[in-house]
Amino acid sequence: MQPDATPGATAHQTERPNGGAMAAFVAAGAGSFAMGLFVLLHEAGIYSAPSLYAGAGGLSGRSTFAVLAWLIVWVLLHRAWRDRDIPSGRTLTITLVLTGLGILMTFPPFWTLL
């Protein structure tokens, strides 16, 4: 038995690229940002999303479009990054900034600043 051997490891074992997972993280941040942007544009009177479900009003349109934005970003980034190693620190930073901005844009006190 070799003293350096890791249990269960083989000589041909390689790590898989993390690009697909990093694409999912950034896409989640982009979806949050899209939701905040749609809310902010609605409150500023620039854009009014259609009501896709009468019970929820325009929120149904805004949330549906935000989900579509998330899905589009996810598909595009996954295709571009699936075979690459993407720095996780930079990805985390981008995701947190996009998510933070998205959350900020959904708060009424932020709308009154405009």
Per residue of the chain (114 residues), give pLDDT as tens: 555 555 555 555 568 899 999 999 999 999 999 999 999 998 888 988 888 878 888 888 899 999 999 999 999 999 999 999 999 999 999 999 999 999 999 998 887 887
Cα gap 9→61, rounded to integer Å: 50
Three-state DSSP state, 86:
coil
Model-wide pTM > 0.75? yes
- The strand pairing partners of 53, in sequence order, are 57
Pair of tokens at residue 103: 């959350």
Nearest to 27 by CA among 62, 68, 84: 68
